[in-house]
Amino acid sequence: MTRTLRAWVSPALLGLILGVVMVVIPDSSLKPTDMVLVETRRASSVDVNPDVVWILAVGSDARPGEDLTRARGDALQLVGINSVTGAATAIGIPRDSYVAIPGVGMNRVNAALYYGGPELLAETIGDMVGIDADYVFVTSFKRFQALVDGIGGITVNNPRFFSDPYLKPKGFEEGKIGLRGYTAMAFARVRKGLAAGDFDRSANQQRVMQGIQERLREKSSTPGFLEAGVISAMENLATTSSPSKMFHLAHVVATLRSSKFTMCVVQGSLANVGGASVVLPYLDQARRYGDEARDDATIENC
């Protein structure tokens, strides 16, 4: 299988990629006449080749001063976007998944970032799911917080109350809740207070992604918003992607439809390997997700 990892970038544009932005309505800044447009029809298109683009979104546990791309991946989401149908899907990978890392051997999947950077992590997850990521986006906790604050916070739909004595002692209430940078980060990181641990956390990460998407939808019609995201990414990150390519990609994301966003998490069984608690992922399920979503970025049933 030919691997076509095209680029890896991180925080600011990550938000753009994780968000599904509405088709931007042409703004009203060009109104030089006193006439009214009384009948309107709309056509929109954003061309990308291939039609379905796959992005591996990684939350790195790198601390300030550490290399983002040589730490461990704390959040792992493989996101597919379909520029033709406007669909998008996210496949969550539990970070403790015990899998074969090419050239390294059996280990937790998140160690692949430490051993071989974004490319090896993408290859490892590609072997699990059967999909080669076109891009890898890496962010850190701190930059993720800045991202969420930068868009004015998000709203998520929390299915149950949970808390964490260190990250969020007062907990997160059930229902629709507003999150700022820190609380969004905590919502995506807390594991111990969740019944299904790492699996529920991965689902929470997807809820945060959806919240970012909905917030971006509100702001996407602001001239310069997507451009500012690209600039921020270029200034803050090492990337092999050109500004023009990122501009193009950001607009592809901006055409997606939130109603066509599906999210699944690869399940597995808990185990102890060499004294370490790990997840033995259901690789057949991961493959099924990949097979189902590969060509159209859609999974009917998790």
Partner 1 sequence: MKTLTKRTFAVWLATLFAASALTAGCSSGDSDSQSNPDSEGSAAVDEPAVETVVTIGKVTGDLAEAERAPLKAAVKEVMDDYFEGAYLGEFPRSSFKQGYAAFTAGARRDAVKRDAALMSNADISNQIERASATQRRVRLDVLAVKGAARGVTARFTMDFATSGTLEQEQRVKGYLLMVPQGKNWRVFGYNVIKGTLG
Residues binding partner 1 (CB under 8 A): 23-27, 29-49, 223-224, 227-228, 230-231, 234, 242-245, 247-248, 251-252, 255
What is the nearest approach in angstroms of partner 1 to the Cβ of residue 82? 13
Sign of the Cα pseudo-torsion (28, 33, 34, 39, in order) = negative
- How far, in Å, CA of 257 to CA of 44, rounded? 13
3-state secondary structure 239-255: CCCCHHHHHHHHHHHCC
What is the nearest approach in angstroms of partner 1 to the Cβ of residue 203? 32
Please list the residues that pair with 78 across neighbouring strands.
56, 91
User: Based on CB atoms, which residue is closest to partner 1, 179 or 249?
Assistant: 249
Residue 204 identity (one-letter amino acid): N
User: Based on CB atoms, which residue is closest to partner 1, 4 or 242?
Assistant: 242
User: What SS3 class is residue 60?
Assistant: strand
The distance of Cα 180 from the centroid of its chain, to the nearest Å, equals 18
H helix or E strand, kind and range, residue 264:
strand 261-265
CB 78, CB 143: distance < 8 Å: no
User: Based on CB atoms, which residue is closest to partner 1, 2 or 28?
Assistant: 28
What is the nearest approach in angstroms of partner 1 to the Cβ of residue 16? 13
What is the nearest approach in angstroms of partner 1 to the Cβ of residue 237? 13
CB atoms within 10 A of CB 86: 20
User: Based on CB atoms, which residue is closest to partner 1, 206 or 239?
Assistant: 239
61-69 long-range contacts (CB < 8 A, ≥24 apart) are: 61/140, 61/141, 62/140, 64/142, 68/10, 68/138, 68/139, 68/140, 68/237, 69/8, 69/113, 69/117, 69/118, 69/138, 69/238
What is the nearest approach in angstroms of partner 1 to the Cβ of residue 263? 26
The token pair that represents 110 in the structure block: 């998140």
User: Based on CB atoms, which residue is closest to partner 1, 51 or 119?
Assistant: 51
- DSSP class of residue 25 equals P
What is the nearest approach in angstroms of partner 1 to the Cβ of residue 253? 12
- How far, in Å, CA of 230 to CA of 250, rounded? 8
User: Based on CB atoms, which residue is closest to partner 1, 25 or 270?
Assistant: 25
What is the nearest approach in angstroms of partner 1 to the Cβ of residue 36? 6
User: Based on CB atoms, which residue is closest to partner 1, 1 or 35?
Assistant: 35
